[in-house]
Amino acid sequence: MLKFCMRIFSLFALGASVLFFIFNSAFAGTPTKVGFVYLTTPGDHGWTYAHELGKQMVEKRFGNDVKISVVENVPEGPDATRVIRELAKQGNEIIFTTSFGYMEPTLKVAKEFPNVKFEHITGYKRSKNVATGNIRFYEGRYIQGVVAGLMTKTNKIGYIAAYPIAEVIMGINSFAQGLRSVNKDASISVIWANTWYDPVKEADAAKVHIAEGADILAQHTDSPAMLQIAEKKGVLGFGQSTDMSAFAPKAQLFASINNWGPYYIRKIEELKSGKWNTGDGPNHWAGNDWGGLKAEMLLISKFQNMPDSVAKKAQEALDGLKSGKINIFAGPLVDNTGKEIIPAGKSLDDGALFRMNYYLKGVNGKVPG
């Protein structure tokens, strides 16, 4: 009898402990609801794909502690407002809006949902519950400039750019600074595609650059089309946003890779521990988080298709930028018409970078508009 009672008791205990475990894991912490808004789909193999990789890192890090909703293909404008509002209504606690054009929609919805945290990517306007995050993409372009300057034979660099906004212009100027640090004779000519994404047009622009004598190509557009043309025509170039060496194994010198994952993870952790904040106040131009190579928000893929001596110089530039030894926009800076931007001893601050509307020395032509 006693034995029987013991058995019942142990069964009971076992059942209770199982139940306890189930409940415990279910209610230990209710998962944090996280929303993402994508401009295109991860299928672009560029900008949005990089965000997708970041999202996957979040999933891996938090597992069941987060519940992620993603909305793809959201046009910038009124549609974005609707999508962001819907995500907020569904109870997402933090919403990442991953394109510059979501700036106003994000702010608008943030006002309606003061308890939801918003993270606008690449913007500069913030409010009580809107923080901004961005990557110092231009740092990678400095290294591109160094490599281009050492690798070019024709001294002509072809650059394909999307829209003449500060973000893109500072990239071109940073490239020029890198270029001129090793090669004073080379110059950059820029073709504005006036689109982020049109593979055929990007390919056409690459062909035109090559026909005009460029032997190194760089891009600030989203598709791998430029590198494919470079591969076909036997010239060299740089990948954008993600490692594109699969498309151009013989042409890609290296790619600057956008690494959003650590940023997302940190912000979600801050939210969970109640430490989430919007940083240093509205005058801090680039927002509270503008990380580059040092913060490892920008990564550099393997240096390839270049002699060891060039790779060594590239590595030096990379190390210099990480340690802060190289200051890309340190004076004296002169624009390409000869006008002084700042004298020796000073350097451009973040605000000045976001006001750039001129080309530095080493770039041909002038900024449209």
Strand partners, 71: 37
Compute the distance between CA of residue 224 and CA of residue 112 in angstroms, rounded to an integer: 39
Q: Which of 209, 220, 267, 361 is in the footprint of another protein by CB under 8 A?
A: 209
Q: Which of 199, 262, 279, 320 is in the footprint of another protein by CB under 8 A?
A: 199
Give least dist CB 286 to another protein, A: 27
Q: Is 130 among the residues that bind another protein (CB under 8 A)?
A: no
Q: Is 246 among the residues that bind another protein (CB under 8 A)?
A: yes
Q: Which is closer to another protein, CB of 129 or CB of 258?
A: 258
Running DSSP on this structure, what letter comes out for residue 332?
P
Compute the distance between CA of residue 245 and CA of residue 252 in angstroms, rounded to an integer: 6
Q: Is 365 among the residues that bind another protein (CB under 8 A)?
A: yes
Q: Which of 17, 24, 41, 357 is in the footprint of another protein by CB under 8 A?
A: 41
Q: What is the dihedral of CA 255, 260, 266, 270, to 10 degrees?
A: 150
Strand partners, 239: 255
Residue with tokens 């109870």: 91
Q: Is 76 among the residues that bind another protein (CB under 8 A)?
A: no
Give least dist CB 16 to another protein, A: 46
SS3 287: coil
**Residue 31: exposure state from Cβ atoms within 10 A (0-12, 13-18, ≥19):** middle
Strand partners, 216: 157, 236
Stretch near another protein under the rule CB under 8 A, chosen from 82-90, 192-200, 310-318, 347-355: 192-200
What single-letter amino acid sits at 227?
L
Give least dist CB 164 to another protein, A: 8
Q: Which of 139, 202, 215, 335 is in the footprint of another protein by CB under 8 A?
A: 202
Q: Is 44 among the residues that bind another protein (CB under 8 A)?
A: yes
Q: Which is closer to another protein, CB of 228 or CB of 301?
A: 228
Compute the distance between CA of residue 70 and CA of residue 235 in angstroms, rounded to an integer: 38
Q: Which of 172, 190, 333, 353 is in the footprint of another protein by CB under 8 A?
A: 190
Q: Which is closer to another protein, CB of 11 or CB of 246?
A: 246
SS3 2: helix
Stretch near another protein under the rule CB under 8 A, chosen from 80-88, 137-145, 201-209, 302-310: 201-209
Q: Which residues of 260-298 are buried (b: 16+ CB within 10 A; e: fewer)?
A: bbbbbbebbeebbeeebebeeeeebbbbebbbbbebebb
What single-letter amino acid sits at 189?
S
Q: Which is closer to another protein, CB of 199 or CB of 331?
A: 199
Q: Is 25 among the residues that bind another protein (CB under 8 A)?
A: no
How many residues make contact with another protein (CB under 8 A)?
A: 42
> Which positions lie near another protein, rule CB under 8 A?
40-45, 49, 158, 189-192, 194-195, 197-205, 207-212, 214, 223-225, 228-229, 232, 246-247, 364-365, 368-369
